[in-house]
Amino acid sequence: MTEKNEDNFERLDADHGCQNQGPIEKERRNTETEYEQRYSEYDNGYKTSYSLKKNQNKNSKLKKSLIVFLIIIGGMLILGLFGLNVKRALFSDDRGYEVDGPYLAALYVEGTILAGQVDTFGIATGYQHQWTLDKIDELMNDPENKGILLFIDSPGGGVYESDELYLKLNEYKETTERPVYAVMGSMAASGGYYIAAAADEIFANRNTWTGSIGVTIGTLYDISELLEKYGVKTVTITAGRNKAMGSSVEPLTQEQQAIFQSLVDEAYEQFVGIVAEERNLDLDAVKNLADGRVYTAKQAMELGLVDSIGTMEDAVYAMSEKYDLWDCDVIDIVYQDHSLWGNLFGSVKIPDLKSGDVSALLEVVEGGNRFPISYECELLK
C-alpha cells in the first residue's frame, strides 16, 4: 500500500472517530457549561453575601461613631449647663460665703502683705492681695454688710501693697459710712500696723507685738573682694553711672547710698504722716516713737497706737454696742483654695536640692540684692 493511501485511511479513521465521539463530547461540554454556571452563581452569591456583611460592618462602625459623637455632644451640653459649678469645683480659689440678713465681715490679713504669692505648682499661698481688694469692693456694694472686722496677723510687707490696702479700707469707710475695726493677732508690725491705722478703733491681743514703724530696703551684699580673691572678673554694661547701683559685684558709692536713703526716707515720711493723722498724734511725737522698734500691746496702748487690749469677740461687742448692730451675724471672709488642683498639690512639699556653702551664699546674695522697699519687720518676718 502506498503512502498516499495510508494517509487517506488515517484521515477517514479520524473523521469516523470524531463522528462516533460527538454525543459524548457534547454531553461533556454541557456538563462543563452547567458546572461553570453553578460556580458562577455560587461565586456571585458568595460575593453578594460578603458585600452584605461588609456593608453591615461598615454600618455598625458608623453607628458606633455616631453614638460616640452624640455622647460627646451630650457631655458638652452638660458642661455648658453646669459650667460655672464645674469651674468652681476644679479651679475656683474660694467658695464665697452665704448670708441671710445683716452681717459684719471678719476679713483676715495673714502673712506677708505682698501680691502674687504662689508656690512651685502655681497655687496661691499666704495672703492674697488682689483677692482681698476685690472682697472689700464686694462688701462696699453689699447693702447687707454693716461693717468690717479686720483681723491682722502680719509682719508687714511691700510699701505699695500696704498703702493700696490702706487706701481701699478708707475708700470703704468713705463710700459706705460703715465702721472698720482692726483686731491684731500675734503680730501686726510695720505694714501690718500701717493697714490697721485705717481702722476706726484698734484692738490688740495682750500678747501682740506691733509697731516697727519704719522702712527698709533690705540688705545689700558686696562680694566684689570675694570674687577678686578667686580671680573672678565681671563686666557690667550700663548707660548712666547709677544704673547698676545695688549690684553685688560693685561697691556702693556715697552718691548711691544717698539715693537709696532718699527712697526709704520718703516712704518713712508717708508712714509717720499716716500714723499721726489717723491716730490724732503730734507728728514729732510719732517720729520719736517710730524708730523701727517693736512694741508690746501694753506699750502700744500707752503710746496711743492702739485703743484697747482685747480679742475679736471684744471688738464685735464694741462695734455692735456703738453702732447698734446687735442683729448682725459675723461672717468670716478668709482666703482658702478649694480647687481640685489646690487639693491635689497644695500640701506637696518640694525638697531643696541645693547644697554647699557656695550655693547658700549665692542664694543669700540673690535674695538680699533685690532691695524691695518695704514696711516689714525684719525681726518678725
Catalytic center residues: 190, 243
Tell me the residue type at 16. Answer: H
| Grid cell of 132 as nine digits | 482681698
**Four-point Cα dihedral 110, 112, 114, 117, nearest 10:** -80
SS3 59: helix
Query: 3-state DSSP call for residue 364?
Result: helix
Strand-pair partners of 188: 154, 210
DSSP collapsed to 3 states, 120-155:
CCCCECCCCHHHHHHHHHHHHCCCCEEEEEEEEEEC
Contact residues for 205 (Cβ-Cβ < 8 A; gap 6+): 183, 184, 185, 186, 297, 309, 310, 311
C-alpha span between 105 and 180 (Å, rounded): 10
Which residues, other chains included, contact 259 with Cβ-Cβ below 8 Å and sequence gap of 6+? 242, 245
Measured CA to CA in angstroms, residue 24 lies from 17, 18, 29, 36, 250 at distances of: 11, 10, 9, 18, 120
DSSP code of 157? E
